[in-house]
């Protein structure tokens, strides 16, 4: 992967804000010709800086307003246990993210669900059946204060 220059960073910042932005509007915003802009976007995709394009749903509007953060502890961190867990957790339909962690828990999951009853079903039908799991600790988010989907591209926090 090549290093990002100022124009690449502008392209990535604008596309993170609006992935549906037309190439003509993007080119205009960064003062490039549409063909030069398209070549840069294609290079950023090919070089792996752009992972994909998505639409974000309103969780509440689709009946899944509740976020539950679940800490998972495995009985062993042997390769076969970790691999079996990771293969299986991918198939849990309401798990929206899975992170290998340092600290007390081995994994942190984010689950979007309808509420406590919905989470109970997920826990019973999926989480409790995941291979290698010895502990499940769940925390319900009371309210989302904010969430960001993009990645800040400069070195300042």
For 71-132, the three-class secondary structure string (H helix, E strand, C coil) is EEEECCCCHHHHHHHHHHHCCCCCEEEEEECCCCCCEEEEEEECCHHHHHHHHHHCHHHCCC
What's the rounded Cα separation, in Å, for the pair 144 and 151?
19
Q: What is the Cα–Cα distance from 130 to 110, expressed in whole angstroms?
A: 15
User: How far is Cα 100 from Cα 98, in angstroms, rounded to an integer?
Assistant: 7
pLDDT given at position 91: 95
The DSSP output letter for 74 is E
Residue 1 has pLDDT above 90, yes or no: no
Q: Are 149 and 92 in contact (CB under 8 A)?
A: no
pLDDT of residue 2: 66
What are the start and end residues of each CATH 1.10.10.10 domain in the chain? 6-46
| 26-72 pLDDT tens trace | 999 999 999 999 999 999 999 999 999 999 999 999 999 999 999 99
Q: How confident is the model at residue 154 (pLDDT cuts 50, 70, 90)?
A: confident
Q: Is the pLDDT of residue 156 over 60?
A: no
pLDDT digits (tens, 9 = 90+) for 100-142: 999 999 999 999 999 999 999 999 999 999 999 999 999 999 9
CATH architecture of 66-140: 2-Layer Sandwich (3.30)
Question: Is CATH 1.20.1270.360 correct for 6-46?
Answer: no
Q: Are 75 and 122 in contact (CB under 8 A)?
A: no
Residue written as tokens 């926090």?
157
Looking at residue 3, what is its pLDDT? 86
What is the C-alpha to C-alpha distance for residues 152 and 115, in angstroms, rounded to an integer? Answer: 32
Quick one: tokens of 1? 């992967």
| Predicted local confidence at residue 35, as pLDDT | 97
pLDDT at 157: 47
* Residue ranges matching CATH 3.30.70.920 in the chain: 66-140
């Amino acid at each position: 992967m090549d290093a990002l220059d100022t124009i690449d960073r502008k392209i990535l910042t604008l596309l993170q804000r609006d992935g549906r932005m037309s190439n003509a509007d993007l080119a205009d915003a960064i003062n490039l010709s549409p063909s030069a802009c398209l070549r840069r976007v294609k290079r950023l995709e090919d070089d792996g800086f752009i992972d994909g394009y998505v639409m974000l749903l309103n969780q509440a509007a689709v009946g899944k307003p509740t976020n539950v953060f679940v800490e998972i502890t495995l009985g062993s961190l042997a390769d076969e246990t970790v691999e079996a867990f990771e293969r299986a957790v991918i198939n849990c339909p309401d798990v929206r993210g899975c992170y290998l962690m340092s600290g007390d828990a081995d994994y942190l999951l984010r689950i979007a669900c309808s509420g406590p009853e919905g989470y109970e079903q997920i826990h019973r039908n999926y989480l409790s059946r995941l291979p290698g799991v010895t502990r499940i600790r769940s925390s319900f988010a009371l309210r989302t204060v904010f969430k960001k989907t993009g990645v800040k591209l400069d070195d300042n926090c």
